[in-house]
Homo-oligomer: A and B are copies of this chain.
Amino acid sequence: MREYVVAILGATGAVGHRLLNELEHSQIPVKKIKLLASQRSAGQKLKFHQQEITVEEAQPDSFTGVDLVLSSAGGTVSQQLLPEAVKRGAVCVDNTSAFRMQEGVPLVIPGVNDQELSQHRGIIANPNCSTIQMVAALYPIYQRWGIDQIIVSTYQAVSGAGQAAWDELLSETQARLNEQPAKAQILPTASDSKHYPLAFNLLPQIDVFEDDGYTHEEWKMIHETKKILFNDQNSDRIKVTATCVRVPVEVGHGETVYFVLKDKSATASAIQGEVAKTPGLVLQDDPQKQLYPQPLLAAGKKATFVGRVRADQENPGAFHMWVVADNLLRGAASNTVEIAECLVRDDLVRVIK
């Protein structure tokens, strides 16, 4: 059995920690592991299967001899280093937006479109967290009835903006409880000029604004969804639109997903049935028992949770559902490691010409 030298790029971040843990519990035979991060984090020690590993500074030559790179170190780092890794013969699964929309880069949710992995040229992209859970939940519905239109509103947890933003929410929250003023320096988006508190607040801005008034996060949900479903003959006609809102939640994105099916014969209970039998999806949908997905229940789990499935009573073929998933696991680390498992399963951890 082939064993792999695996590098985790961005090993010290919130997603990096989870990548390490998911890898430890994965089907991937690991011969050796390298933990890579910025100069600032180099020297830290992390454990993999009881063994202490020292984090090294990521540089082009760090990838010599590496078979597989799991990357979550930010878009700029990915853009600089992953082509260097590929040059040295590694296959990279990237968790940033750097390569997602690039032609020839498969954008993959295992269980939805992992057949596209066979076309990779060294880099495979992990979709945006909010895209993954929505498309994962919609896919069995899409396969059976077809989808004309998706309208999504997100309720996104702060951990999606990184550890520093997460810490900022907690310190702002404590300040408010002490009746002291909150000082925002990171949210909504570190790279933008104004910063607002998120504690007990809602910020309808995730990532920067595009010229058309949509945020880049909204743009990602729209365009990544189309790219992921593109290989299907009906998919070119899917309309997707989104509003993304940051909410004072630590882990676990919520989404209200409104979708209009092509085939108007679908019912809410048939949709629930498709969701319930799909691996990776968990149906939590019993109003009489007050059963529905919640971020606190989804945090720490790899599944995508679906509930509140019901018909729009005035628009035939249109339905609502409420989708919740751990954005650091389902939306990031778990999806990345599952892609790597597919690569190993199909013997695709090699340079493909």
* Chain A contact residues, CB within 8 Å of chain B: 149, 151, 153, 155, 170, 173-174, 177, 188, 192-194, 196-197, 200-205, 209, 212-215, 239-241, 243, 245, 247-250, 252, 254, 256, 258, 268, 287-290, 292-296, 307-310, 312-315, 318, 320, 322, 324
Tell me if B204 and A313 are in contact (CB < 8 A).
no
**Identical chains bound together, number:** 2
Tell me if A200 and B320 are in contact (CB < 8 A).
no
Tell me if B202 and A239 are in contact (CB < 8 A).
no
Tell me if A205 and B245 are in contact (CB < 8 A).
no
Tell me if A205 and B314 are in contact (CB < 8 A).
no
Chain B nearest CB from A43 CB (Å) reads 28
Tell me if B248 and A290 are in contact (CB < 8 A).
no
Tell me if A290 and B205 are in contact (CB < 8 A).
yes
Per the bound structure, the CA–CA distance linking A296 and B198 in Å amounts to 9
Report 8 cross-chain contacts, Cβ distance below 8 Å, ordered by A residue.
A153-B153, A212-B313, A213-B308, A215-B287, A239-B315, A241-B320, A245-B256, A247-B247
Query: Given known contacts A212-B310, A290-B193, is B204 in contact with A153 (CB within 8 Å)?
Result: no
Query: Given known contacts A151-B151, A194-B290, A310-B213, is B241 in contact with A245 (CB within 8 Å)?
Result: no
- Residues of B near A313 (CB, < 8 A) are 212, 241
Q: Which residue of B lies closest to A315 (CB)?
A: B239
Q: Which of B193, B252, B308 contacts A204 (CB 8 A)?
A: B308
Q: Is the interface of A mostly helix, strand, loop or mixed?
A: mixed
Tell me if A214 and B310 are in contact (CB < 8 A).
yes
Tell me if B245 and A254 are in contact (CB < 8 A).
yes
Q: Which residue of B lies closest to A253 (CB)?
A: B202
Per the bound structure, the CA–CA distance linking A320 and B242 in Å amounts to 9
Per the bound structure, the CA–CA distance linking A201 and B188 in Å amounts to 19
Q: Which of B155, B177, B296, B310 contacts A247 (CB 8 A)?
A: B155
Chain B nearest CB from A172 CB (Å) reads 11
6 closest A-B pairs by beta carbon, nearest first, are A209-B287, A213-B310, A153-B153, A239-B314, A153-B256, A194-B290
Tell me if A213 and B250 are in contact (CB < 8 A).
no
- Residues of B near A241 (CB, < 8 A) are 258, 312-315, 318, 320
- Residues of B near A288 (CB, < 8 A) are 209
- Residues of B near A203 (CB, < 8 A) are 294
Tell me if A294 and B196 are in contact (CB < 8 A).
yes
Tell me if A197 and B243 are in contact (CB < 8 A).
no
Chain B nearest CB from A212 CB (Å) reads 7
Tell me if A204 and B292 are in contact (CB < 8 A).
yes
Per the bound structure, the CA–CA distance linking A318 and B150 in Å amounts to 13
Q: Which residue of B lies closest to A254 (CB)?
A: B202
Chain B nearest CB from A47 CB (Å) reads 23
Per the bound structure, the CA–CA distance linking A324 and B203 in Å amounts to 11
- Residues of B near A200 (CB, < 8 A) are 248-250, 295-296
Q: Kindly name the residue among A149, A240, A254 whose own CB sees the greatest number of chain B CB atoms within 10 A.
A: A254
Q: Which residue of B lies closest to A182 (CB)?
A: B296
- Residues of B near A295 (CB, < 8 A) are 200-202
- Residues of B near A149 (CB, < 8 A) are 315
Per the bound structure, the CA–CA distance linking A149 and B151 in Å amounts to 13
Q: Kindly name the residue among A151, A203, A213, A215 whose own CB sees the greatest number of chain B CB atoms within 10 A.
A: A213
Per the bound structure, the CA–CA distance linking A322 and B205 in Å amounts to 11
Chain B nearest CB from A316 CB (Å) reads 11
